[in-house]
Amino acid sequence: MARRAAGGRAASRAAARREREAASSLPRALGLTLASGVLWGVAHLWAGRRVTGALLMALFTALVSVVVVTVTVFRGSLETIAVQPEWLTRITVGLLVVGLVWAAVVIRSYAIVRPGGLTAVTRTVGGAAVGVLCVLVALPLAYAAHLGQVTNDTLSDIFQAGTGGREIDKDDPWDGQRRVNVLLLGGDSGPNRVGVRTDSMTLASMDTETGDTVLLSLPRNLEGFPMPPGPARDRFPYGFTGDGPQSPGLLNEVYEYAENHPDVVPGVPKERRGPELLKGTIGGIVGLRVDHYILVDMRGFADIIDAVGGVRMTVPEDIIYGKLNEGRVKAGTRTLTGKEALWFGRSRTNSDDYTRMGRQKCLLRAVARQADPARVLTRFDQLAAAARRAVSTDIPADLLPAFVKLSGEMRDGSKISSLQFVPPLISVGSPDFPLIRSLTSRAIASSEGRVAAAPTSPRPSTRPSTPSTGAPSTPEPQAKPVSLDDSCPS
């Protein structure tokens, strides 16, 4: 009996010793598992599984090498890849697969180095630690896959599927065009308004080789402009006069007129009527073909600015806004919120349309130059939701990579100049359209480093003539495009 009792006590001591040894080995096992999470195969090599360990290390090294080479050597291609649905789908699936494989490697590594004889408590601690490690390695990849899916959905919602009716050559996506002209519209819709009034209309003419851009701004209250050939010109042979006797016939009414009168743009879907008629109208005014448009709802614009973390601007003087002048964008250089940026570009209190147009160009410049990928990533869901609500366009999805490359050239320091067709250069009540077209041609020639013929159309006088007194004459209105770097406060 005594001998059996002694044997039992010895077995108990041996079991306790094994438990202590197992517990002391747990940190080593977790360390090896962590090392395998950083470099696949470490735990397998330690456990003597050399072939498997070497294969895992080789696979991991290959994956890391691909990522490094892609980010360093092919960095310029990443932005264009990020707007192609087929690539986004492949990347999303690939990220999910790598995340699952990585988690499986961590779990298997722990399984082969885990000591035996663990108590329930130490097994729980070890399992929890491995679970946390799996989350740490897989969560970033899962989030990246989520961003890819959100991007894909957003692009599908905003941009037209396909090529827009023509075959797009990857080597020459612009089909030999030296310039691409995109109409940028700010639509001022709201619950107290019927339809959309385009109070901001700027034609961006971009050099497809250099990214140098000329912004041609047209005032919302331009009158007497010709309509494009076809049903619209048949209805308004002597220039647009608006919808009825109460309408002043301004340029910002064209979009809504097309929405309400589908017969002037036959065969065009409802959501494209306004843009198509306005593209043709503005193209005729400046003498250029308008290739595409982008419409941003002004209220949604504020959400977009907030989503990217604001925009840094210099406000020369306080800008007042609101029905009772209760709002104020204070003077100074700082980061504006979405609401402040909206009113910076929208308010006409104590100023006029033309001052507002100048501020809008500076705001566009700041947004284009300050796009920060890091800030965009941290607010990506919010930005995508805001873009879906606020942006519409006819740019085909297959042309997006070319536009992304072009925008990258603009960010990298291409020249952006602006020409505004406003008084005293152009009379909005009685515009000189040959002069507008001539000035447009000169502005583009200047941007391309060419010389164009001087305008031959006389400028309309803005004051009565007076006898010469020998005093210096008043300088002529500025007719050359002005660099936004010079005209915008910094």
- For residue 429, the one-letter residue type is G
Whether 348 contacts 418, CB under 8 Å: no
Residue 16's pLDDT is: 44
Confidence band for 279, pLDDT divided at 50, 70 and 90: very high
Beta strand pairing call for 292-297 and 179-187? parallel
Measured CA to CA, the distance from residue 446 to residue 243 in angstroms comes to 39
Same domain (yes/no): 74, 188: no
Give Cβ neighbours of residue 288 (< 8 Å, ≥ 6 apart): 181, 203, 205, 440
Measured CA to CA, the distance from residue 283 to residue 56 in angstroms comes to 60
268 DSSP assignment? -
* Residue 68 in tokens: 């490094």
Same domain (yes/no): 291, 190: yes
Task: Find the farthest-apart pair of alpha carbons in the chain and give their distance in angstroms, rounded.
Answer: 138
Same domain (yes/no): 129, 245: no
Same domain (yes/no): 83, 186: no
Same domain (yes/no): 419, 274: yes
pLDDT tens for each residue of 293-326: 999 887 788 888 888 888 999 999 999 988 888 8
pLDDT tens for each residue of 123-135: 898 899 999 999 9
CATH code at 301?
3.40.630.190
Same domain (yes/no): 229, 151: no
Q: Of 125, 158, 191, which one is at a domain's C-terminal end?
A: 158
Q: Is the pLDDT of residue 482 over 80?
A: no
Q: Which residues of 66-77 are buried (b: 16+ CB within 10 A; e: fewer)?
A: eeeeeeeeeeee
Q: Is 461 domain-assigned?
A: no
Residue 307's pLDDT is: 83
Same domain (yes/no): 114, 209: no
Mean pLDDT over all residues of the chain?
83
Same domain (yes/no): 143, 218: no
Measured CA to CA, the distance from residue 376 to residue 101 in angstroms comes to 29
Q: Is the pLDDT of residue 168 over 90?
A: no
Looking at 331-432, list the stretches that DSSP marks H as alpha helix, in order from N- to C-terminal side.
338-346, 353-370, 373-378, 380-390, 400-411
Residue 98 three-state SS: helix
Q: Is the pLDDT of residue 164 over 60?
A: no
Beta strand pairing call for 416-420 and 213-218? parallel
Q: Is 423 domain-assigned?
A: yes
Same domain (yes/no): 40, 83: yes
Same domain (yes/no): 79, 183: no
Residue 465's pLDDT is: 36
Element (H, E) at 286: helix 273-286
Beta strand pairing call for 391-393 and 198-207? unpaired
Same domain (yes/no): 363, 439: yes
Confidence band for 360, pLDDT divided at 50, 70 and 90: confident
Whether 259 contacts 274, CB under 8 Å: yes
Q: Is 1 domain-assigned?
A: no
Report the DSSP beta bridge partners of residue 321. 327
Lowest mean pLDDT among 250-264, 341-355, 385-399, 454-468: 454-468
Q: Which of 58, 133, 148 is nearest to 95 (CA)?
A: 148
Whether 439 contacts 426, CB under 8 Å: no
Residue 371's pLDDT is: 65
Q: Which residue has the tokens 């490690």?
A: 133
Q: Is the pLDDT of residue 24 over 60?
A: no
Q: Of 126, 158, 190, which one is at a domain's C-terminal end?
A: 158
* Residue 170 in tokens: 């990857």
Give the Cβ contact number of residue 33 at 10 Å. Answer: 26
- Its domain, for residue 213, covers 179-307+357-453+479-487
Number of folded domains that form the chain: 2
Looking at 73-175, list the stretches that DSSP marks H as alpha helix, in order from N- to C-terminal side.
75-81, 85-113, 120-158
Measured CA to CA, the distance from residue 327 to residue 178 in angstroms comes to 44
Q: Is the pLDDT of residue 118 over 90?
A: no
Measured CA to CA, the distance from residue 318 to residue 334 in angstroms comes to 13
Q: What percent of the chain has pLDDT over 70?
A: 82
Measured CA to CA, the distance from residue 221 to residue 198 in angstroms comes to 11
Residue 314 three-state SS: strand
Report cis status (omega within 30 of 0) of the bond before 424. Answer: yes
Confidence band for 460, pLDDT divided at 50, 70 and 90: very low
Whether 371 contacts 309, CB under 8 Å: no
Q: Residue 422 — φ and ψ, nearest 5°?
A: -130, 165
Whether 417 contacts 483, CB under 8 Å: yes
Q: Is 196 domain-assigned?
A: yes
Residue 25's pLDDT is: 79
Measured CA to CA, the distance from residue 247 to residue 100 in angstroms comes to 63
Q: Is 259 domain-assigned?
A: yes
Measured CA to CA, the distance from residue 21 to residue 115 in angstroms comes to 9
- For residue 126, the one-letter residue type is G
Give Cβ neighbours of residue 139 (< 8 Å, ≥ 6 apart): none
Whether 292 contacts 406, CB under 8 Å: no
pLDDT tens for each residue of 225-248: 999 999 999 999 999 998 877 788
Residue 106 three-state SS: helix
Measured CA to CA, the distance from residue 483 to residue 490 in angstroms comes to 13
Q: Is 30 domain-assigned?
A: yes
Q: Is 266 domain-assigned?
A: yes
Q: Which of 79, 163, 228 is nearest to 394 (CA)?
A: 163
Same domain (yes/no): 396, 425: yes
Lowest mean pLDDT among 338-342, 385-389, 423-427, 441-445: 385-389
Residue 3's pLDDT is: 55
Q: What percent of the chain has pLDDT over 90?
A: 42
Measured CA to CA, the distance from residue 255 to residue 193 in angstroms comes to 14
Q: Which residues of 185-208 are buried (b: 16+ CB within 10 A; e: fewer)?
A: bbbbbeeeeeebbbbbbbbbbbbb
- Single pTM value for the model: 0.76
Residue 464 three-state SS: coil
Q: Is 303 domain-assigned?
A: yes
Mean pLDDT of 88-105: 93
Lowest mean pLDDT among 140-149, 379-388, 389-398: 379-388
